[in-house]
Amino acid sequence: MLEIRDLHAAVDGTPILKGITLTVNAGEVHAVMGPNGSGKSTLAQVLAGHPAYEITSGEILYKGENLVEMEAEERAQQGVFLAFQYPVEIPGVSNAYFLRAAYNAKLKAAGKEEVDPMEFLDLVEEKLKLVDMDPAMLHRSVNAGFSGGEKKRNEILQMAVLDPTLAILDETDSGLDIDALRIVAGGVNALKRPDNAAIVVTHYQRLLNYIVPDQVHVLAGGRIVKSGGKELALELEARGYDWLLEAVA
Amino acid sequence: MSTTLSAPALLEQANHAAAADVPAVLRAARAEGAEQFAALGLPTTKNEDWHYTSVSSLAAIPFAPMTGDDSDLSPDALAEHRLDASWPTLVFVNGVYQPSLSDTSALPAGIRVLPLGDAVSALGDTVSRLLGSTAPASRDGFTALNASFLGEGAVVHVAKEMVIDTPVHLLYVTTDAGANGMHHPRVLMLAERHAKATVVESWVGLTEQPYFTNAVAEVVVEDGATLTHLKVQREGRGAFHVATIEATQGRDSHYVSFCFTTGGALSRSTISTLLNGAGCGTTLNGLTMLDGAQHGDVQTRIEHAQPQCFSREIYKSILDEHSHGVFNGKVYVHPIAQQTDGKQTNNTLLLSKTAQVDAKPQLEIFADDVKCTHGATVGQIDQTALFYMKSRGVDADTARQLLTYAFAADVLETIENETVRDALELVTLHRFTSLATVTG
Ligand SMILES: Nc1ncnc2c1ncn2[C@@H]1O[C@H](COP(=O)(O)OP(=O)(O)O)[C@@H](O)[C@H]1O
Ligand SMILES: [Mg+2]
């Protein structure tokens, strides 16, 4: 589904990703871990198509197509979804409207009929239960004045509505208490299917008690310095990152 | 006869117009206006308050007083601008009050709404009390000019303790027949103590031709009264629009103003209120949306003259293409106005590199126990929000439009009357977007 080959990316001329190679197959969950500043969010943003990051070399294939060539909105319409580490507040645009605009954009790209507000409401109400969100949140502006946990849940709600093929969750667990973490993880697990995949970026092993990864990758200094099975996460939890960083230094 | 506004012949014209059929009270005011105008003339950019707005293009056009010719007025176009046909409405077409298009039969007891001409006799006391009281002819050239042509306009008088829920609408329409014309309506509003009412003033241009609106409103809000005054400026693209609103407030009163500006080649709205009784307050909000080569200037002045008063102000502008927006928000706090609570916010969204804004807060505070804050921002579309929307599949164009609308939405939400709010939301939506709706 996703093939990243020797990916190098820079921001304002400063190289940040320095040769990432990663393959994610349908049905898999990959965890990307690593210390602060190692490039996890950069990788996530690059996959989502943020224009600030320049791909200096390497390639990204998504369902066999060159992802780098696609605009962010096109990627989303093709099923790529990024749950932001820092979800953006959009005062003045209601959650309900935003969700429907996103949902319809995807339908339209697939050549399907758009849904009207009433139909859409039925669909959303079901998804709201998945993340245990108050329907009143639909009528508030997107993320505006939401607590940290509400913002993260809202990301998962968007994900649930858009039903992505490739979901990338960037530290969706950070700052969540254990109940919120369970809800978020439950949402992710409920959406898991043989024909989709997820990349779960996290700083802590804790989330991986709830979302069990097929593979764990450790990112440091813009490179994947170690990959392994789910037990690697436990080892990182016990030993920290330093031993790995020393090994590659 | 037409003449440019700077010419002395204008005096002649005004005096001439002050013929025998004009009531004495107006005749006297006209004479004073003409005299003051001769002395003051039109402001130049050397005048600090007019630094960013030059009226030289206005002064160069020979405008003739409008005649009220309504022969080319389309009933459908008029209907569209009524907001709610059931509201008591005075309609002015090309500068002149039109009884046949107006209807105040739905007015409840306790509120009087009359065209200025009728009010001179029917509400003589109100007219003599208010006329020239908050906006004397000596105020500036435009006010003097308005006085020198006194005749059209309206009087709204709300008797004490009357709470009037239905808004009163004063609707001024200019058509092609009004091209190269000018009109100088004067509105007098009095909310007696503990009264409550809403007045909407709409300025609509159904022509691209140049014409000149020079309006003055004098507003008195007595103790405990609440007056909501919504100004909707949708003049034609060739129009010059100058509006001066001068309010004065009694103890515990509330003057709520919204200034919506989207039309005109050159417009200038001055909204000024004197907080002249303890515990009173004002809410002055507004939205300006310009494009092309439009110039839109909003000046507000809040004068805290008594203790424990509050003022709340949110002004937003969306400027596209080569337009030029000006905002000057003055807050003056007298030494005795302790415990003043003032807050001013001014945000501008620039949609093009060539759009220009001159915005300044001007706080002059002479009391020591006050809380006055102000914040101003000028920016472009938020790229972070744009990317966030795109990352959800919303195309860049739609995302930009949504963000533009959203910028305006929160200030529009402060309009309490739902009909006006909905109407202005729609105007705003259509101004810069192709979206049909943003609700649901
Ligand atoms: N937009 C940006 N501008 C400048 N530097 C950036 C930008 N984004 C990321 N970086 C830098 O790239 C490095 C990796 O950041 P990031 O991808 O956010 O790491 P992580 O998510 O692993 O904590 C850091 O040194 C950070 O300062
Ligand atoms: Mg990060």
CA distance, residue A103 to nearest chain B CA (Å)? 8
Q: Quick check: A93 and B406 CB within 8 A? A: yes
Q: Which residues form the domain of B28?
A: 7-277
pLDDT at B1: 41
Q: In chain A, which residues have their Cβ closer than 8 Å to the Cβ of B409?
A: 92-93
* Distance between CA atoms of residues A132 and A153, nearest Å: 8
A16 lines ligand 1 (CB under 6 A): yes
> Is residue B414 in some structural domain?
yes
Chain A residues contacting B, CB < 8 Å?
Answer: 48-51, 71-73, 75-77, 81-82, 84, 87-94, 96-98, 100-102, 105-106, 109, 117, 120-121, 141, 158, 162
**Alpha carbon of A95 to those of A100, A158, A161, A177, B145: distances in Å?**
8, 9, 12, 23, 51
| Cβ of A54 below 6 Å from ligand 1 | no
Best of A53, A78, A98 to disrupt the B interface (most B CBs within 10 Å) is A98
- pLDDT value for A190: 87
Q: Within this chain, do residues B110 and B239 fall inside the same structural domain, yes or no?
A: yes
How many residue pairs bridge chain A and chain B with CB atoms within 8 Å of each other? Answer: 92
Q: Which of B374, B382, B372 is nearest to B338 (CA)?
A: B372
Domain count, chain B: 2
Q: Same domain for B266 and B387?
A: no
Chain A hits for B391, CB-CB cut-off 8 Å, are: 48-50, 72-73, 75-76, 81-82, 84
Q: Which residues of chain B have pLDDT under 50?
A: 1-2, 7
The model's pTM is 0.89
Residue B323, in any domain of the structure:
no
Do A73 and B440 make contact, defined as CB atoms within 8 angstroms?
A: no
Mutate to test the pocket of ligand 1, among A12, A41, A245 (most ligand atoms within 8 A of CB): A41
Query: Does the Cβ of A37 fall within 6 Å of ligand 1?
Result: yes
Low-confidence ranges of chain A (pLDDT < 50): none
Closest chain A C-alpha to B440 CA, distance in angstroms? 5
Give the pLDDT confidence score for residue A180 in this predicted structure. Answer: 81
Residue B283, in any domain of the structure:
no
SS3 B343: strand
- Contact assignment for B392 to A84 by CB distance below 8 Å: no
The per-residue b/e assignment along B10-43, b for 16 or more CB within 10 angstroms, e otherwise, is: bbebbeebbeeebbebbbbbbbbbbbbbeebbbb
At B333, the amino acid letter reads V
B255 and B394 both lie in a single domain:
no
Among B238, B259, B277, which residue terminates a domain? B277
> Would you call A105 and B394 a contact, using CB atoms and an 8 Å cutoff?
yes
If asked whether residues B397 and B253 sit together in one domain, one would say no
Task: Read off the amino acid at residue B80.
Answer: E
Give, in order, the Cα–Cα distances in Å from B383 to each of A50, A52, A78, A88, A174: 10, 10, 22, 11, 24
Helix (H, G, I), strand (E, B) or coil at B14: helix
d(CA A64, CA A83): 23
Cβ atoms of B164 and B197 within 8 Å: the answer is: yes
Does residue B296 fall inside a structural domain? no
Per-residue DSSP letters for B225-267?
A: -EEEEEEEEE--TTEEEEEEEEEEE-TT-EEEEEEEE---SEE
Question: Long-range contacts: B413-417, Cβ < 8 Å, 24+?
Answer: B414/B258, B414/B283, B414/B285, B414/B314, B415/B230, B415/B258, B415/B285, B416/B228, B416/B256, B417/B167, B417/B198, B417/B200, B417/B228, B417/B230
Contact B387 A109 (CB under 8 A): no
Among A16, A20, A33, say which to mutate for ligand 1: greatest number of ligand atoms within 8 Å of CB.
Answer: A16
Give the nearest chain B residue to A91 (CA atoms). Answer: B406
Phi and psi torsions of B299, nearest 5°:
-120, 130
Last residue of a domain, one of B232, B260, B277: B277
Query: Looking at the CA of A45, which ligand is closest?
Result: 1
Ligand nearest to the CA of A220: 1
**Residue of chain A whose alpha carbon sits nearest to that of B439:** A97
User: Are B267 and B388 within one domain?
Assistant: no
Q: Name the strand (E) or helix (H) holding B306.
A: none
pLDDT recorded at residue B14: 57
Which of B392, B394, B401, B405 has the most A C-beta neighbours within 10 Å, making it the best mutation to test the interface with A? B392
Neighbours of A182 (CB within 10 A): 14
Between positions 356 and 395 of B, the ones with CB within 8 A of A are: 384-385, 387-395
Tell me: do B270 and B129 sit in the same domain. yes
Two structure tokens written together for B369? 């126990």
Q: Decide: B83 and B423 in contact? Cβ < 8 Å.
A: yes
Q: What is the CATH number of the domain that holds A241?
A: 3.40.50.300
Domains: count for chain A: 1
Listed in sequence order, the residues at least 6 apart from A166 whose beta carbon sits closer than 8 Å to its beta carbon are A1, A2, A24, A47, A62, A79, A80, A81, A196, A197, A198, A199
For ion ligand 2, residues whose CB falls within 5 Å = A 40-41, 85
CB contact under 8 A, A84 and B388: yes
> B200, B205, B203: which is closest to B175 by C-alpha?
B205
Range of the domain at A127: 2-248
Task: Please state, in angstroms and as integers, the Cα–Cα distance from residue B63 to each residue in A28, B91, B216, B440, following that order.
Answer: 76, 22, 18, 48
